[in-house]
Structure 1
Amino acid sequence: MSASRTVICLLRNDLRLHDNEVFHWAQRNADHIIPLYCFDPRHYQGTYHFNFPKTGPFRLRFLLDSVKDLRATLKKRGSTLLVRQGKPEEVVSELIQQLGSVTALAFHEEVASEEKFVEKKLKDVCCQNKVKVQTFWGSTLYHRDDLPFSHIRGLALGCISPRYIYEQIKKYEVERTANQSTYWVIFELLWRDYFKFVGLKYRNRIFHMNGLQDKHVSWKTDMILFNAWKEGRTGVPFVDANMRELALTGFMSNRGRQNVASFLTKDLGLDWRLGAEWFEYLLVDHDVCSNYGNWLYSAGTGNDPRENRKFNMIKQGLDYDNNGDYVRQWVPELRGIKGGDVHTPWTLSNSALSHAQVSLNETYPSPIIIAPEWSRHINNKSSGPPGKGRKGSSYTPRQHKDRGIDFYFSKNKGF
């Protein structure tokens, strides 16, 4: 009679049953499966450069809910999820000793150095105990082995897989319609894949101040400016609205992320890693490669061929929040200012500010910086009555046509 086969399935950023090769392999190769999740204390320490907490309250709450949900799902299948607090390599070692006989440890591979360090420790533990290690790649839409790039060797918590999202979108397009929304979701899945593979190729260089290009920039670490940025009191309403939404919800739109990153690096000249580590702390959907890859791109030290790509905060605000409703939602002290004028309160007359019950430097700060290129958009605002925004109430923000990832690496693009 053959010996019983026991497999430990270590869950990491793959908190799901569907499209999960770890479970699929274990079901075919084990008599007993032990699903395991570890709350690794290293995930709750300080960030590397500026010592912000690595995991903020929003992501922690989402993580707890996700672990609870997976455990409930497994219980419905007659199993459960073993949850432990501790370093995975230590927890797995203890489990092997307690169980006496473990055939294999299975888990999905990650990309960044801290996760790879844990993987090495896990393999060392298994080697010492003569336990097989079975690893899988499952965090991207495309498998790394499918890429036509010789230089690459063969969704944040993984509660849902990118392949599942892709299949559901394609099903929707067949049954109903393909539209801008379905196009952009798939596009963002590819963008996410791209940064994952950038991390796989460049490893720790995605964390280096000089970035992938080894580009030397005299970044500042002025904490007064940084605190104004992170607290949403820069005096630039579109920036402040996005930063306050992040602080209160753990969420920020992709458009917002691009703008506040550009403002921090290009307008304030602050070290991009300040922003990246602050996002790591607060974002509920933080993904190491996407976050640091996007910050490198915004800072001009990543995969961007265009020199000094910079967003114009006033133009962006008027393009994407023409009537100012988003700003007024998150910056309530400016609610008395109607229309697009809310994006530039410092340009209003004293009587207009008084009527709106706004007092600069008292109820709302004056801008900590005014970029010269903002003036042409301030001057182009409608001179009509308040509330009409840049081109009147009938103005419709420009719609972007479908475009592939090449667009984002073109040298001729206006912001």
Structure 2
Amino acid sequence: MATTALYWLTHDLRLCDNPALRAAAASADQMLLVYCVDPSWFQPGQFQSRPMGQHRWRFIYQSLRELDHQLSALGQRLLIRFDDPETTIDQLIRKYRVDTLVRSHAVASDEQQQLEQIRERHPRLHIAQFWTHTLFSPDHLPFDLQHLPTTFTQFRKAVESLHISTPLAAPGQLPPPPIAVEPSHWNELPDATADITLFSGGESAAHARLEYYFADQLPAHYKQTRNSLSGGDTSTGLSPWLAHGCLSARQVIDRLKRYEQERVRNDSTEWISFELLWREYFQWYAQKFGVGLYRFRGITSKPPLTSFYPGRFRKWIEGETPYPIVNACMKQLASTGTLSNRGRQLAASCLVNELSLDWRYGASWFQQQLIDYDPACNWGNWQYIAGVGADPRGGRHFDLEWQTRQYDPLHQYIQHWAGNSELKLLDHVDYVDWPIVPEHHD
């Protein structure tokens, strides 16, 4: 009797350097590959924002279309289901008598919970998980995950000399799907159009960007340009493809090492490696703390001294605060789904420190808007700014006027995004001049 493997794709939308795909192909006579588009992604959540915004959804849709095309050349197909993963995976396991379920290790705690529900429903099912989203696996780390260093600096010193495996080639063949497998549900998916196209989803676009960036002098000047507020080549620009697994971090490191051997190794190329280790740290940080990644108090024992003021939050979202540099950042984010690392820090610091707002609302808005949303990096960085995460200094408060003089002295960025159109007031007042704010939000 033929054995069947089900490969549940999540943040691993690629053929190259994909150990989960290779394992699924080697484990059975026939194989299903499925991606679940959860309808809850497009509904407002606990913090008023949607888990999935239009910019990121368009990128994912393009990535799925390309992956389906790649799989067809290998005699396979990508099954798309517009339903929650628990229901979809359960149905496929029962209908096709799946022997082995394969997937990448979950990044976020809610994904881990979904897998546990499936495990409970199918206790005899063999489940295999693979580390496709990180540079290392737990076995390679020089510490137990529960003893993850409390600061990034400690983590970097512990892992920067570790060997990083060479990326795997794409498989040359795959087992066929079961006979008469049902068609994909592409026509049920939400509209994937967007007004502005800055990034194209998919593995081929990821490799094109990787080669473009490392083709000449851009990596050699990364440290000098990385804090810029705008400019397509001031950073590597690889984060959207890394976030959705169209490209692996190991592939980036491998290309960086080749650049250093063939061209130059300097402070800038080392800083690219440094940034990839920051990303790595947050992946293990999320694994260790689980739901603590989303708690108001974060991983600390005390909640921050912030609340929630709907009017202030709306002005922050719309770029209508008294802070022109932040307004410009928020308008760029809403329009394009992109924002520089410096811009993200300034917008987050403003929400937490100037507006005294619950940091989770800001993190959720970034989750909705960012094309390159990564649960670990987004929520970990917001905790860092809010003082409830891994920062030993207890949070970061940026002087917005100084930051403007440093990074936008001629106000070109502010003018481009209309951040300083008029004087903005922080709060409205009622007829006796009492600020209209809600009660404290716990």
Under a length normalisation based on structure 1, what TM-score does the superposition of the two structures give?
0.76
Q: How much has 1:156 moved relative to structure 2?
A: 1.7
> Could you list the runs of 5+ residues in structure 2 that have no partner in the other structure?
149-241, 428-442
Could you say which residue in structure 1 is the equivalent of 2:87?
90
Contact 1:246 1:282 in 2 (8 A): yes
Taking the aligned partners of 2:69 and 2:147, their CA distance within structure 1 comes to 37
> Which residue of structure 2 aligns with residue 368 of structure 1?
426
Segments of structure 1 that go 5 or more residues without pairing to the other structure are 335-362, 370-415
Separation in structure 1 between the aligned mates of residue 107 and residue 13 of structure 2, nearest angstrom: 17
1:177-188 alignment, distance < 5 Å: 177-188=264-275
Secondary structure, aligned partner of 1:34: strand
Change (3 A) 1:18 1:247: same
**Distance between the aligned counterparts of 2:134 and 2:290, measured in 1?**
17
Superposed, 1:92-107 pairs within 5 Å as 92-99=89-96, 101-107=97-103
Determine the C-alpha separation between the residues in 1 that align with 2:85 and 2:394: 43
Tell me, yes or no, if structure 1 residue 294 matches structure 2 residue 292: no
Question: Amino acid of the residue matched to residue 117 of structure 1?
Answer: Q
Give the conservation status (yes or no) of the 8 Å contact 2:2–2:29.
yes
Equivalent pair of 2:385/2:396 in contact (CA under 8 Å) = yes
Contact 2:48 2:361 (8 Å CA) reproduced: no
Report the counterpart of residue 127 of structure 2 in structure 1: 133
Distance across 2 between alignment mates of 1:297 and 1:69: 36
Name the structure 1 match of 2:29: 31
Do the aligned partners of residues 306 and 365 (structure 1) sit closer, same or farther apart at CA in structure 2, a change above 3 Å counting? same
Residue identity matched to 1:62: F
Amino acid at match of 2:376: C
The correspondence of residues 211-226 of structure 1 with structure 2, limited to 5 A, is 211-226=298-313
1:217 partner letter: P
Q: 1:5-404, aligned counterparts within 5 Å?
A: 5-48=3-46, 50-99=47-96, 101-127=97-123, 130-152=124-146, 155-307=242-394, 309-331=396-418, 363-366=421-424, 368=426
SS at match of 1:18: coil
The structure with more radius of gyration: 1
Query: What root-mean-square deviation, in Å, do the aligned CA atoms of Structure 1 and Structure 2 show?
Result: 2.0
Cα deviation, residue 252, structure 1: 0.6
Deviation at 1:134, TM superposition (A): 1.3
Give how far 1:307 is off.
Answer: 4.0
| Conserved 8 A contact 1:89-1:125 | no
- Scaled by the length of structure 2, the TM-score of the pair is 0.72
Indicate the structure whose relative CO is greater, using CA pairs within 8 Å and at least 6 residues apart.
2
Task: Give, in whole Å, the separation in 1 of the partners of 2:360 and 2:114.
Answer: 23
CA contact (8 A) 2:325 2:400 kept: yes
- Deviation (angstroms), 1:142: 2.0
Give the structure 1 partner of residue 223 of structure 2.
Answer: none
The residue matched to 1:152 in structure 2 has which SS? helix
The code of the aligned residue for 1:209 comes to F
Give the counterpart letter for 1:106 in structure 2: V
**Identity of aligned pairs, percent?**
37
8 Å contact from structure 1 (residues 9, 106) kept in 2: yes
Residue 69 (structure 1) shift? 1.1
Using the alignment, how far apart are the partners of 1:180 and 1:62 within structure 2?
A: 32
In the alignment, the residues of structure 2 paired with residue 52 and residue 242 of structure 1 have an alpha-carbon distance, to the nearest angstrom, of 18
For residues 64-94 of structure 1, what are the alpha-carbon distances to aligned partners after superposition, in whole Å with 9 as ceiling and x for unaligned?
1111111111112222111111122222222
- Supply the distance in 2 between the matched residues of 1:255 and 1:183 (Cα, whole angstroms): 19
Contact 2:138 2:144 (C-alpha < 8 Å) held by counterparts:
no
Shift of the 237–291 alpha-carbon distance from structure 1 to 2, 3 Å rule, reads same
Structure 1 match to 2:161: none
Aligned position for 2:231: none
Distance of 2:147 and 2:68 partners within structure 1:
34
Q: Per-residue CA shift, 1:297-318, capped at 9, x if unaligned?
A: 1011111121453111111112
Cα deviations by residue, 1:94-117 (Å, 9 ceiling, x for unpaired): 223332x32211111114221111
Give, as a single letter, the amino acid of the residue that structure 1 aligns with 2:426: I
Q: CA deviation at 1:175?
A: 1.6
Amino acid at match of 2:112: K
Q: Once the 2 structures are TM-superposed, how far is the Cα of residue 181 of structure 1 from its aligned partner?
A: 4.4
Question: How many angstroms does 1:151 deviate by?
Answer: 4.3
SS in structure 1 of the partner of residue 139 of structure 2 = helix
How far the C-alpha of 1:34 sits from its partner, in A, is 1.5
Change (3 A) 1:51 1:366: closer
Note the C-alpha offset of 1:323.
2.3
For the structure 1 residues 233 and 173, does the alpha-carbon distance in structure 2 shift closer, same or farther, using more than 3 Å as the test? Answer: same
The separation in 1 between residues aligned to 2:407 and 2:73, in whole angstroms, is: 45
